[in-house]
Chains A and B, each alone.
Chain A
Amino acid sequence: MSTQHKHKHAVAKAILFLGVVFGGLGAYIVHFTKDIRVGPLTTKGPIAAEQANLIYLSLGIVLAVLVPTILLLYFFAWKYRESNNKAVYKPGAHHGKAFVMTMWIFPTLVMLVLAFILVPVTRRLDPRKPVNNGTAPITIQVVALRWKWLFLYPEQQIATVNSVTIPKDQPVTFELTADETPMSSFWIPNLGGMLYAMTGHVNRLNLMATAIGDYSGSSAEINGAGFAGMRFTANVTSKQDFGKWVNQVQYKTNPLDDTAYANLRKPSEAAPVTTYSTYAPDLYNTIIMKYMGDMSGMDMSSMNHEGHTK
């Protein structure tokens, strides 16, 4: 076999190999993603939808530029292979100013296009900005604890653990903080992107759901041994059902008093969903102020890592 044939043979083999791999991989991916319900691309709200569109848009633009470039590289690799007698070997090829200019200007233009998308979209999708659909947002205060999520409803004066119920088509402002817990990240992928929950800080994350259902949420940032189990459910209900649910929670007497909160602060994994009919109105502020300034009066012994209950 001539070297030329041998090369052709090897390339055919490589292409066949890659074809089989990517064909199989593609089929596998399609089969197992048929009915996914979670993730940034299965959107159930306007914020998530815009973020998904942004992902598709940036992916599309970059692909449009990248694929031809990479294909060109492989094409040249193939065309100018040593065994190809038809290709002309030009070792002294000079690259003029025009070539160098193009080489720099072309990617700069592409990045300019992306930049003109990036700045406005970053401003428009500022998580601090309430979702505007004519309704005033309700506030839900979120406290990251080890390893569970506490939700306080200041307007309804109820609280829940590891489950948050919100009405459909109702803008929500989540006010994120944490207590005796390392940086955590509050994420409901179906509704929109994440923000960190940190002690002594309030991060505001505005989201809205447009479809009734149960959506899973998690802490996306590692914050200790029980972090993988720090999951919660976002239940989106109709406005009527939300009112009913609030009444139910308020009716079933189970106040979040000091003892109950002290228990929540203890590290535990996979805490059951709990609802509280009421809580001390200044609880959230107390939690934040705890990390501001004077430390006297803070019970540091409770921040011991060891002996967490399962």
Chain B
Amino acid sequence: MRHFWLGKLDSHALPHAWFTIGGTAVFLLAALITVIIITRMKRWKWLWNEWLTSVDPKKIGIMYFIVGGVMLLRGGLDALMMWLQQALGASNMPGIGGEAAHGYLSSEHFQQIFTAHGNIMVFFVAMAFIFGLINYIVPLQIGARDLASPFMNTLGFWLYVGGVLMVNMFFMFGGEYAATGWLAIAPLSGKVFSPGVGVDYWIWSLQISGVGSTLGALNFILTILKMRAPGMTLSKMPLFTWGSLFSMLMAVTVFPLLTATLFLSFFDRYLGTHFFTMTAGGDPMMYTNLIWMWGHPEVYILMLPAFGVFSEVVATFSRKPIASYKSNVIGMAGVSFMALSVWLHHFFTMGASTDVNAFFGLMTLIVAIPTAVLFFTWIATMRGGMIRFETPMLWFLGFVAIFAVGGLSGLILAFPPADFQLHNSLFLVAHFHFNVIGGVLFGIFCGINYWFSKFTGFKLNQRIGRQAFWCWILGFCLSFIPMLILGLMGATRRLDHYDASTGWQPFFVLMLIGGIVIAIGTVLQLVQIFASVIQRHRLYDATGDPWDGRSLEWGTTSPPPSYNFTVIPTVTSFDTFWEAKKNHALPGPAYEDIVIPKNTAAGIYIALFAFLLGFGFVWEMNWLAVVSIIGIIVVLITRGYNEHSEYILTAAEVEKNEEKRAELHKKRLEQHKAALHEEEMGLVDFMRYMLKLGMNYIRQKRRKRT
């Protein structure tokens, strides 16, 4: 009976190691503080109505940023723990069989950390930020008021949150995550070698968030293809939208593959089937193929929107339209198409025949051609421009150097015989960090610095932003250049300890120092945001177009109203907004009836059931899984019968709302003018400000007491 209700769950599964107790305590404490703050501010209703159940892609985008940002800190902590372990992991006893120094973590724990680090950074940080940017910016860029399916969008977001919860659940129940590497390669991830719940958590966190990604991708494709403003033909679409379209097309191609592979893997573990087992006719090599058929394109799903961000930023900050727009679009198309046909280069070393390896090596070389074209369009755009070095441009310039090294190391790895020597070494690990941090993460930072005023109504602090940028560059070089060198010294990845005689330790120590500098850079980015909030009047974005931008999103106010545009703009050329601005031909106010989707909590309920479904299967509580499936179906059907999912905001109401917004704008403008004499805050100013704030608070408390 007990097993029926609780499955495998018993008291042993509760936290008892230092990291699970610590993790649980941190999560519970964070939840408690949040609850207290919201309750004291009486903001529950507001939170539920304005944010959690909202179907406004702008709000969903912001929520993606917040959850993704928290996960960035979580995954970054994992990285610091790994760096510390490896810096301490040199055993001083030479030869095999000596007493090894194992750092401060056990092997199993270290392996769980790098698995979680990879999953969190790819699925719950990079994907979140990319989806956040697409959510916020794409509808604005194409002159749409919403997405094709607002409901699918909120559902996708909440499924993502379900995945986030699932990946962190092991702190509270089970105490172990997968110790298999981020792709849980078979047969290591099978029941025989990984009998615990760690791999099950891995499967279900990816499964739940992966379904969300598929839904999101379908939704964005439909939105981009069907909901563009009148006159905006495909060939007049902004480049970030193009990058997002290609990215999402890839996502609908490969994410179903991930879903299927995860199900087969789940069947192996749960039902005892033999798809990927090494016995009874199972084929682990098939798993390797399937997971990389998804895994390689996944990196490009993240990269293409980032390419789009860079194209926008280069054009804006050079004050020129992108050079050879067509080549840029074809370049992105080429990258996304070729990226689907190179997966085998992740396992040249598995023993495929020479010609198979050579074919996939050639395909890998071909990817470099469209990528190079993108770089040439950026170079040609800058030539003859008038370039401003604001923070978005700095992130672009940082990306160029780092991504170039990533491409360089990638081309070396494309040669199968060279790959035999570098595969699974730290050279490879450094290679993809050059690409994913230098390309994807810097692209995200670039985009956030660029569009921040659109999100909030005020610009980001540039001074602290520049300091954060240089910390990232310095920290990155200190941690990942030594990693390239370590690979050339024969260091393999995922080692929790190694022999001191290898001479690797000085480089691992350097990597730790670099990691700390990156951490400082991350803290500075948070300071940058806080300092901007403090000086929000000074940094107020009065025009909605602070950078002298070119695409439609700069034609609305910052932040835009929930309906984005009072009147949908008509597009006549690639640079319609820019041209209208230069010819002083921006349209005047006009109002029309607007259809607005109603809020819905159905996404939250479905995601909750999906989470419980996963949790039920992880712990073998079959009743819970069955109940959850029924729950999902019931919510879906109920939602399907809801015919009042939209309401009409009449032209008069829109006008009233616009008047209200104009009044607020007037007030803000006065505050802005009053604050214009202020210097932009530096780090020292910020600390002084915070100190003063704290002192005042204490003084007030004392005064109250006396």
Q: Which of B348-402 contact A (CB under 8 A)?
A: 349-351, 354-355, 357-358, 361-362, 365-366, 368-369, 372-373, 375-380, 382-389, 397, 400-401
B369 touching A229, Cβ below 8 Å: no
With contacts A66-B407, A76-B379, A195-B351 known, is A89 near B385, CB below 8 A?
yes
Bound-state CA distance A74–B383 (Å) is 10
Contacts of A201 in B (CB 8 A): 351
Q: Which residue of A lies closest to B179 (CB)?
A: A225
Of B252-260, B494-502, B553-561, the segment with at least 4 beta carbons within 8 Å of chain A is B494-502
A122 touching B285, Cβ below 8 Å: no
Instruction: Give the number of A-B contacts (CB < 8 Å).
Output: 305
With contacts A93-B320, A228-B498 known, is A70 near B401, CB below 8 A?
yes
A76 touching B414, Cβ below 8 Å: no
Q: Is A123 an interface residue (CB 8 A)?
A: yes
With contacts A33-B485, A183-B187, A222-B494 known, is A88 near B384, CB below 8 A?
yes
B490 touching A125, Cβ below 8 Å: no
B357 touching A122, Cβ below 8 Å: yes
A118 touching B375, Cβ below 8 Å: no
Q: Which residue of B lies closest to A18 (CB)?
A: B473
Contacts of A185 in B (CB 8 A): 349, 423-424
Q: Which of A187-234 contact B (CB under 8 A)?
A: 187, 189-190, 192-196, 198-201, 203, 216, 218-229, 231-233
Bound-state CA distance A182–B185 (Å) is 9
Q: Is B231 an interface residue (CB 8 A)?
A: no
A223 touching B107, Cβ below 8 Å: no
Contacts of A216 in B (CB 8 A): 490, 499, 502
Contacts of A182 in B (CB 8 A): 185-188, 193, 278, 284
Bound-state CA distance A55–B408 (Å) is 11
B401 touching A51, Cβ below 8 Å: no
Bound-state CA distance A119–B375 (Å) is 27
A36 touching B503, Cβ below 8 Å: yes
Q: Is A257 an interface residue (CB 8 A)?
A: no
Contacts of A231 in B (CB 8 A): 96, 499
Of B209-217, B475-483, B673-681, the segment with at least 4 beta carbons within 8 Å of chain A is B475-483
Q: Is A114 an interface residue (CB 8 A)?
A: yes
B379 touching A115, Cβ below 8 Å: no
Q: Which residue of A lies closest to B411 (CB)?
A: A62
B418 touching A55, Cβ below 8 Å: yes
From the candidates A91, A95, A125, name the one contacting B324 in the complex (CB within 8 A).
A95
A125 touching B384, Cβ below 8 Å: no
Contacts of A99 in B (CB 8 A): 324, 380
Bound-state CA distance A29–B489 (Å) is 11
B412 touching A306, Cβ below 8 Å: no
Bound-state CA distance A143–B98 (Å) is 23
With contacts A77-B397, A93-B323 known, is A126 near B354, CB below 8 A?
yes
What sequence of 0s and 1s flags, for each residue 658-679 of chain B, a beta carbon within 8 Å of any chain A beta carbon? 0000000000000000000000
Contacts of A203 in B (CB 8 A): 351
From the candidates B186, B326, B372, name the one contacting A107 in the complex (CB within 8 A).
B372
Q: Is B510 an interface residue (CB 8 A)?
A: yes
Q: Which residue of B lies closest to A119 (CB)?
A: B358
Pick the most buried of A22, A35, A72, A298: most chain B CB atoms within 10 A of its CB: A72
Pick the most buried of B96, B382, B383: most chain A CB atoms within 10 A of its CB: B96
A21 touching B485, Cβ below 8 Å: no
With contacts A21-B477, A58-B418, A114-B411 known, is A272 near B351, CB below 8 A?
no
With contacts A226-B107, A228-B107 known, is A272 near B188, CB below 8 A?
no
Contacts of A103 in B (CB 8 A): 324, 327, 373, 376-377, 380
Bound-state CA distance A293–B281 (Å) is 7
Bound-state CA distance A10–B466 (Å) is 11
Bound-state CA distance A138–B108 (Å) is 38
Least CB distance from B398 to A in Å reads: 11
B506 touching A32, Cβ below 8 Å: yes
With contacts A40-B422, A195-B420 known, is A29 near B96, CB below 8 A?
no
Contacts of A88 in B (CB 8 A): 384
Least CB distance from A113 to B in Å reads: 10
- Tell me the count of chain A residues lying within 8 A, CB to CB, of chain B: 112
Q: Is A295 an interface residue (CB 8 A)?
A: yes
From the candidates A29, A108, A121, A305, name the one contacting B415 in the complex (CB within 8 A).
A121
B495 touching A55, Cβ below 8 Å: no
A74 touching B421, Cβ below 8 Å: no
Q: Which residue of B lies closest to A67 (CB)?
A: B404
Q: Is B7 an interface residue (CB 8 A)?
A: no
With contacts A54-B415, A226-B107 known, is A118 near B365, CB below 8 A?
yes
Q: Which residue of A lies closest to B373 (CB)?
A: A103
B377 touching A194, Cβ below 8 Å: no
From the candidates A192, A222, A224, A293, name the one contacting B420 in the complex (CB within 8 A).
A192
What sequence of 0s and 1s flags, for each residue 105-143 of chain B, a beta carbon within 8 Å of any chain A beta carbon? 001100100000000000000000000000000000000
Bound-state CA distance A114–B388 (Å) is 37
B97 touching A80, Cβ below 8 Å: no
From the candidates A80, A193, A228, name the one contacting B387 in the complex (CB within 8 A).
A80
Q: Is B192 an interface residue (CB 8 A)?
A: yes
Q: Is A262 an interface residue (CB 8 A)?
A: no
Bound-state CA distance A200–B274 (Å) is 15
With contacts A82-B386, A103-B324, A193-B419 known, is A41 near B495, CB below 8 A?
no
Contacts of A36 in B (CB 8 A): 489, 503
Contacts of B240 in A (CB 8 A): none
B373 touching A224, Cβ below 8 Å: no
Q: Which of B459-511 contact A (CB under 8 A)?
A: 470, 474, 477-478, 481-482, 485, 488-499, 502-503, 506-507, 510
Given A74-B400, A193-B420, A195-B420, 4 extra CB contacts under 8 A? A29-B482, A103-B377, A220-B493, A227-B494
Q: List 8 A-B contacts (CB under 8 A).
A: A33-B489, A80-B386, A99-B324, A104-B369, A189-B421, A193-B419, A196-B351, A220-B424
Q: When A and B form their complex, which 4 residue pairs have the shortest distance between CB atoms, in order from nearest?
A: A193-B420, A90-B384, A107-B372, A182-B188
Residues in chain A within 8 A of chain B (CB atoms): 7, 10, 17, 21-22, 25, 28-29, 32-33, 35-41, 48, 50-52, 54-55, 58-59, 62-63, 66, 69-70, 72-74, 76-77, 80-82, 87-91, 93, 95, 99-100, 103-104, 106-108, 110-111, 114-115, 117-119, 121-123, 125-128, 162-163, 182-183, 185, 187, 189-190, 192-196, 198-201, 203, 216, 218-229, 231-233, 270-273, 291, 293, 295, 298, 300, 303, 305-306
